[in-house]
Structure 1
Amino acid sequence: MTATSPTALLEIALPVPLRRHFDYLPPVDISPEQITNLLPGVLIRVPFGRQELVGVLLRVKTASEQPSHKLRAALAVIDTEPALDQELLDLCLWAADYYQCAAGEALQTALPVLLRQGEPAQLRGEAVFTLTTEGKGLPVGGLKRAPKQAALLAALQTQPHLTRAQLEQLDIPRNIATTLIDKGLVHIITLAPDCTPPTGPLLRETSLTLSEEQQVAFDQIDYNRFKTYLLDGATGSGKTEIYLQAIEETLKKGKQALVLVPEIGLTPQTLQRFQRRFNLPVVALHSGLNDRERLDAWLQARAGIARIIIGTRSALFTPLKAPGIIIIDEEHDGSFKQQDGFRYSARDLAAMRAHRLNIPLILGSATPSLETLHNAHQGRYQHLRLQARAGKAKPPEIQLLDIRGEILHEGFAQASIEAIGDNLRKGNQALVFLNRRGYAPALECHDCGWLANCNHCDARMTVHQTPRHLHCHHCDHQRALPKRCPSCNSSNIRPLGQGTERSELVLQELFPDYKVIRVDRDSTRNKNSMQKLLADVHSGEPCILVGTQMLAKGHHFEDVTLVVIIDADAGLFSTDFRGPERMGQLLLQVAGRAGRAEKPGRVLLQSNHTDHPLVQTLVYQGYHALAELILQERHITQLPPFRHLALLRAESKHAQVAVAFLQQARQLAEAIQPPSPLLSYLGPLPAMMEKRGDRYRYQLQISAAQRKSLQLLLGQLALQLEAHPLASKVRWSLDVDPQEMA
């Protein structure tokens, strides 16, 4: 029954995992005229059960399916200006529909944390340090016994105010400013937001001259309409210079550029490079910022103050006053897919956003994803190729090292050790790649064969030395290293296998006169730790870098001339059908760190399977030959990109409950769309890691020849599953276009 309300009603999307919208009466302190003037995208605080939530207004209406006496009044309109404009609102609602997510959860992803907590979306003025009247009257040399205080005073006597960033540039700690504030010589004032564009030339430094190959690619970009370009360039071929010059063309038109990168660690170096080139405000958006910094950058982009926005996955939802181009660097990278909650692909959504905005999208990679390559082959994307390295740099020489039967020194072949030593003695740098954190991936009893397993997962615990402990990298469970085997009481327990920590110690013992720098998730946890670690590398001194895939993405190391890949076989025998593709991408991305400047590069791949067809193809014919081989296999087996997948996942502390839920889900799905060559079901099956974090994990795979039929099925199935009696007893989720089959 539909009950008509005598007053306007607010239809609101709330951050709850329910696929529905919620109706509320307007706040009691707002006039009818103000209600009718409210625009979609406004943030509103409402009561929900016993808590208060901040939701997004979708529309003002006059009737509700709920009886009027059951409707509660909203508490407050946080800001009368929409936090999300109509373009972003529509994009998020479309994405929620496509990825089978609650609209409120999708919209929350697009909002900075402080807005989700109810702060108004208003630009703050910048807090700056300036002299008080007493400070202005202090004579020169008045603080000669405190040189840092004197330096700050002198700086403020030559310019009216200093920002916190300028203090850092002058190497003056903030507590020095606090001391002068306490003395009454300095105070803090807030400047009104400056929305006027900076005057002067667009560029701080001149653009580089493009090679003939780069120029051909660059000339094909049309800035006046939507088109997707695959900038397919070998590592070191100068893709970034094309990005920079494409952004220059965009800025000349008074438009903004949005650039997405895969890793937080890459954001600062990308930011610095763009700031060196452009005389316009550039901001970064990523999870390494605090909530206030992130909101400020978001608001500057919305106001049009920031002309270039650089960020990781969620920066795709940044509001833009004058959108002109979207660029995604390393488009193949798995981090562009959100793996929980709102499981969207930033790369795929970027195509939808660019299409709606009628602006170009550039997808850049040296090892494009098979989906992107397939789209280029089908003519949906324009394929721009760069095959030569920029300047005088040459592609590195790749050499396979067959380690079968060889006695290894803590994972290193003798040829690898000799090559590293020779490289260092010549004054160059070496990079050792091993995609396993910790000291060793397992702990084993040498007498009875006991292995240290996680009590909560179907996984081995990783041995860490600093500090000494066992650590599960899946559920984060940690425990002390045992002194004796819990199975046979033997003291003969040893680390098994190689991790980055162990490699670091081994290399330091082998080459005591050179610095060994480890780069992995453990060594880069703290803010700015990545930049500090890499400062030694960029100094050019001979050293050894050892790390995980964090080193493979987009870094430019001019003096790295040797790359040693300890285990080139990871991915060859993966149970995930994407394993070989990812192996090829990762190995070539790592190899691409060698010989990026004028010095020639060399890559050594240690392998137990040097004769494997995929390894042979990759090394001797290159990534594109490997990609074609895998695409042929995918076509035969009818896997993406030739079919469309969705995974229905369920997990529970009791395996039988998760299985029962998926069995009934399959029955519901088959009732909506019976199995056929156009739409098929597989499962329930255990996940690759069946038990994780004390929960048993199962999945149902749905495969369709057409996207539309898959979407029709999932839309109906999701609503039925929400109301299912077992739904409250399991954690379940739908993953559309899954990138991880685990």
Structure 2
Amino acid sequence: MPSPRFVSVALDIPLLPPLTYKVMDGTSPKIGDRCVVPIGNRSAVGLIVGVSNQTDIAEEKQKSYIRLLNETEALGESWLKLTKFASDYYQHSWGEVAIAALPPFFRSKPGPKYEQSLERLRKPFKFKKTSQAVPALQLNNEQTAAVETLAASSGFRTFVLHGVTGSGKTEVYLRMMERVFSVNPQAQVLFLVPEINLTPQLQERVRSHFPDRSMATLHSGLANGERARAWLAAHEKRVQILIGTRMAIFADMPDLDLIIVDEEHDLSYKAGDGIRYSARDLAVKLAQLRGIAVVLGSATPSLETWSRVKSGRYHLLTLSKRAVQGAKLPTLSVVNPKNQKLVKGLCSEVIDAISETLQKNEQVIIFLNRRGYAPVLTCPSCGWLSKCPHCSTYAVYHKFHAKLICHHCGWSTPVYSRCPDCGNVDLQPMGAGTQRIEETLEELWPQARILRIDRDSTQRKNAAKLAFEAVHAGDVDILVGTQMVAKGHDFQKVSLVVVLNIDAQLVSANPRSEERAFANLMQVAGRAGRFGLPARMIVQSRFGDRELFAALAEQNYCRYADSLLAIRKAENTVPFVCQALLLADDVKIDKVLEFLSQALRLGEDILAAQVNQQVVIYDPIPMAVMKVADKERGQLLVEASSRGAMGLFLKQWYRALSEIRSSVHWTMDVDPIDV
């Protein structure tokens, strides 16, 4: 077959379709190769997505690429199809998705030492090899059935591994991987986790089970060189097991044979800026493209996933009991603090339970999903509150840093010595964050070894890993933490979990807030009693009569999810409709709302022309936190009864919006997690 004369190149430019370039003499480009091309007065790295022998472009206007970057194998067909699907679904150009999916090294123009750098990236991964693998645990009947069901399947299928916390989902994942490798010794497995701090623990577990399989990790905590090295090793089939966060979904793995998404419900799988993709949803699409199985695991599956289980689209694998013999789920007590005399925010039942647990040399987890010392600092004299000057929210008091810090924009200032409005020196903290609870615990139990784990305490490299190792080693009596402590950790000595301030989630205006609160409670409850210790959970809440606490007492996710699905169906909302948000920001909210109103009129005209009655556009409104980093924000919600109708509308609407002349910055969020 003769070499192509022209190539189509996708570039990282909004709305730009692939451009046509001549093939440079002496080169043999392939689909999936990278190249450097001229674009206007500059040059950029692009991706070859098509080849041909003819073009409609006049000869005098034809340009060739500057350099062909084929020192690595071309990107695979399924990778190209995945990025094309993501570009169509999330309303971006193919180049925007495909180029952004590459590590920075591979999307940058080559420097003078490009070849030497590439050789360094190919340096083999060093990993400890042992003479034999760690003996495998004995599977119970449910675990065995789950593994056998996967082994008996062929082709594309989505499995939901729904197991109570401590039911041994990780061991099931490992056995599923075993089966894959036994059939195809050269197979590759992609193992997604929601957070960076879960990768070291999982990496050690996987390595001990597969001591002779090459493995790498891929996440945003890695330096650019490390990230490029892991990505290239997977691309060149030098790594068989890749463990990573959401970015790892865009690793090109030619021999990929199984995808595992652990804690599939976790919000971290959804990108919050740029191309707002869901790694969980793309994992299902990638499995479909490759004709392989994907396993979504969770003790609390998302309602979207659960609804697909109920409809028969996903196959359910259930683990209803804990894997360790004699291990039981904790008993639940919900204590209403309203009419109690609290000691530094703790009710007497909580204080007594902590003391009893410490006397037995067992561990306690205090779960509070709010970092800092106090949510706000106030002046009791004039009512001044520590508002962020750049956001429509409060700056959080961080006592140990002696600062007020905004958790939205990052603004900070030293704590005022007196009220900036009236001069009063008696400023007081309101509410409690993890730092304040840590201080309270130190006062009440000075002999206890107390450790706080949140984003503030784990900023240094390996800080989270060392902190969790201390807990596992038994060097901590009381662990105070946010969501970081709630999932994925096998604490052997934890027999008491205390949950504070869950009511903030239960009264939130966000329609998904209670659903997330239930998931948090289920996950953190699962840290206790995993190795046979009698365990209990105490929640301080004023809403103990709510359905979620009855389901939590039974650790009955199905009961709660089914009741919530019935409500959502009656209300005709997610997951029974699909949504998209048009988000806009500017220094003035009036300009934002004017832009969104214009977008609304454009959308209504498009729907009328399409005769599309499956899509509804709502009026524009300011966002709940209207101002962030001096930008005022608004949103416009779109709902549709089918994804096909939504996609048809969004594609045409996006192009129309791009033609509006406005200084307002805007972006599209398909399948938003917050409305």
Shorter-chain TM-score: what band?
A: over 0.9
Output aligned runs, 1:10-89, within 5 Å.
10-26=7-23, 30-31=24-25, 34=27, 37-61=28-52, 69=60, 72-79=63-70, 81-89=72-80
RMSD: 2.3
> Is the alpha carbon distance of 1:516 and 1:66 closer, same or farther for their aligned partners in structure 2, counting shifts above 3 Å?
farther
Once the two structures are TM-superposed, the CA of residue 405 in structure 1 deviates from its matched residue by 2.2
Of the structure 1 ranges 502-511 and 713-722, higher mean CA displacement relative to structure 2 is found in 502-511
> Any idea what the Cα deviations from partners look like across 1:172-197, whole Å, max 9, x if unmatched?
xxxxxxxxxxxxxxxxxxxxxxxxxx
**2:469 is aligned with what amino acid?**
A
**1:661 is aligned with what amino acid?**
F
Q: Secondary structure at the match of 1:240?
A: helix
Indicate the residue corresponding to 2:191 in structure 1.
259
Are 2:591 and 1:657 aligned?
yes
Once the two structures are TM-superposed, the CA of residue 685 in structure 1 deviates from its matched residue by 1.1
**2:363 is aligned with what amino acid?**
Q
**Conserved in 1, the CA contact under 8 Å of 2:438 and 2:452?**
yes
From 141, 148, 161, the equivalent of 1:231 is 161
**CA–CA separation in structure 1 for the residues paired with 2:262 and 2:555:** 24
**CA–CA separation in structure 2 for the residues paired with 1:207 and 1:711:** 47
From 201, 213, 223, the equivalent of 1:290 is 223
Are 2:150 and 1:217 aligned?
no
Output aligned runs, 1:178-189, within 5 Å.
none
Q: Secondary structure at the match of 1:615?
A: helix
Indicate the residue corresponding to 1:693 in structure 2.
629
Indicate the residue corresponding to 1:99 in structure 2.
90
From 419, 441, 447, the equivalent of 1:485 is 419
Once the two structures are TM-superposed, the CA of residue 207 in structure 1 deviates from its matched residue by 2.0
**1:720 is aligned with what amino acid?**
A
Indicate the residue corresponding to 1:591 in structure 2.
525
**Conserved in 1, the CA contact under 8 Å of 2:31 and 2:74?**
no
Are 2:609 and 1:680 aligned?
no
**CA–CA separation in structure 2 for the residues paired with 1:724 and 1:318:** 36
Once the two structures are TM-superposed, the CA of residue 71 in structure 1 deviates from its matched residue by 5.3
Once the two structures are TM-superposed, the CA of residue 415 in structure 1 deviates from its matched residue by 1.7
Of the structure 1 ranges 540-549 and 239-248, higher mean CA displacement relative to structure 2 is found in 540-549
> Any idea what the Cα deviations from partners look like across 1:613-670, whole Å, max 9, x if unmatched?
4333433563221211211111111111101111111111121221121111111111
Are 2:548 and 1:548 aligned?
no
Indicate the residue corresponding to 2:99 in structure 1.
108
**2:149 is aligned with what amino acid?**
Q
Q: Secondary structure at the match of 1:673?
A: helix
Indicate the residue corresponding to 2:451 in structure 1.
517
How many residues matched?
661
> Is the alpha carbon distance of 1:483 and 1:64 closer, same or farther for their aligned partners in structure 2, counting shifts above 3 Å?
farther
Once the two structures are TM-superposed, the CA of residue 466 in structure 1 deviates from its matched residue by 2.5
Once the two structures are TM-superposed, the CA of residue 324 in structure 1 deviates from its matched residue by 1.0
**CA–CA separation in structure 2 for the residues paired with 1:576 and 1:243:** 34
**CA–CA separation in structure 1 for the residues paired with 2:329 and 2:353:** 18
Once the two structures are TM-superposed, the CA of residue 496 in structure 1 deviates from its matched residue by 0.7
**CA–CA separation in structure 2 for the residues paired with 1:732 and 1:71:** 34
**2:195 is aligned with what amino acid?**
E
> Any idea what the Cα deviations from partners look like across 1:210-238, whole Å, max 9, x if unmatched?
10121122221145311111100000001
**Conserved in 1, the CA contact under 8 Å of 2:267 and 2:673?**
yes
**Conserved in 2, the CA contact under 8 Å of 1:259 and 1:308?**
yes
> Is the alpha carbon distance of 1:487 and 1:67 closer, same or farther for their aligned partners in structure 2, counting shifts above 3 Å?
farther
Once the two structures are TM-superposed, the CA of residue 82 in structure 1 deviates from its matched residue by 4.5
Indicate the residue corresponding to 1:330 in structure 2.
263
Indicate the residue corresponding to 1:304 in structure 2.
237
Once the two structures are TM-superposed, the CA of residue 490 in structure 1 deviates from its matched residue by 1.4
Once the two structures are TM-superposed, the CA of residue 295 in structure 1 deviates from its matched residue by 1.7
In percent, how many aligned pairs have the same letter?
Answer: 38
**CA–CA separation in structure 2 for the residues paired with 1:19 and 1:645:** 25
Once the two structures are TM-superposed, the CA of residue 23 in structure 1 deviates from its matched residue by 3.5
**Conserved in 2, the CA contact under 8 Å of 1:39 and 1:81?**
no
From 448, 454, 460, the equivalent of 1:526 is 460
**CA–CA separation in structure 2 for the residues paired with 1:71 and 1:664:** 39
**Conserved in 2, the CA contact under 8 Å of 1:570 and 1:583?**
no
**CA–CA separation in structure 1 for the residues paired with 2:452 and 2:62:** 58
Report the TM-score when normalising by structure 2: 0.93
Output aligned runs, 1:288-437, within 5 Å.
288-392=221-325, 393-437=327-371
Once the two structures are TM-superposed, the CA of residue 610 in structure 1 deviates from its matched residue by 1.4
**CA–CA separation in structure 2 for the residues paired with 1:716 and 1:64:** 26
**CA–CA separation in structure 2 for the residues paired with 1:60 and 1:485:** 68
Once the two structures are TM-superposed, the CA of residue 241 in structure 1 deviates from its matched residue by 0.6
> Any idea what the Cα deviations from partners look like across 1:704-729, whole Å, max 9, x if unmatched?
11110100000011111112212xx1
**Conserved in 2, the CA contact under 8 Å of 1:329 and 1:364?**
yes
Are 2:373 and 1:439 aligned?
yes
**Conserved in 2, the CA contact under 8 Å of 1:646 and 1:734?**
yes
**CA–CA separation in structure 2 for the residues paired with 1:689 and 1:216:** 47
**Conserved in 1, the CA contact under 8 Å of 2:364 and 2:497?**
yes
**Conserved in 2, the CA contact under 8 Å of 1:223 and 1:250?**
no
**Conserved in 2, the CA contact under 8 Å of 1:19 and 1:101?**
no
> Any idea what the Cα deviations from partners look like across 1:687-715, whole Å, max 9, x if unmatched?
11111111111111111111101000000
**CA–CA separation in structure 1 for the residues paired with 2:71 and 2:77:** 14
Indicate the residue corresponding to 2:205 in structure 1.
273
> Is the alpha carbon distance of 1:455 and 1:72 closer, same or farther for their aligned partners in structure 2, counting shifts above 3 Å?
farther
**1:638 is aligned with what amino acid?**
N
Q: Secondary structure at the match of 2:260?
A: strand
> Is the alpha carbon distance of 1:165 and 1:510 closer, same or farther for their aligned partners in structure 2, counting shifts above 3 Å?
farther
**CA–CA separation in structure 2 for the residues paired with 1:123 and 1:396:** 52
Unaligned runs of 5+ in 2: none
> Is the alpha carbon distance of 1:341 and 1:693 closer, same or farther for their aligned partners in structure 2, counting shifts above 3 Å?
same
Report the TM-score when normalising by structure 1: 0.85
Output aligned runs, 1:53-202, within 5 Å.
53-61=44-52, 69=60, 72-79=63-70, 81-118=72-109, 124=119
Of the structure 1 ranges 504-513 and 442-451, higher mean CA displacement relative to structure 2 is found in 504-513
Q: Secondary structure at the match of 1:54?
A: strand
**CA–CA separation in structure 2 for the residues paired with 1:70 and 1:679:** 42
Unaligned runs of 5+ in 1: 1-6, 129-162, 170-197
**CA–CA separation in structure 1 for the residues paired with 2:225 and 2:341:** 54
> Is the alpha carbon distance of 1:522 and 1:590 closer, same or farther for their aligned partners in structure 2, counting shifts above 3 Å?
same
**CA–CA separation in structure 2 for the residues paired with 1:412 and 1:241:** 38
**CA–CA separation in structure 1 for the residues paired with 2:380 and 2:93:** 52
**Conserved in 1, the CA contact under 8 Å of 2:103 and 2:227?**
yes
**1:553 is aligned with what amino acid?**
K
> Any idea what the Cα deviations from partners look like across 1:388-432, whole Å, max 9, x if unmatched?
001221111111111112232232222212211221121111111
Output aligned runs, 1:448-487, within 5 Å.
448-487=382-421
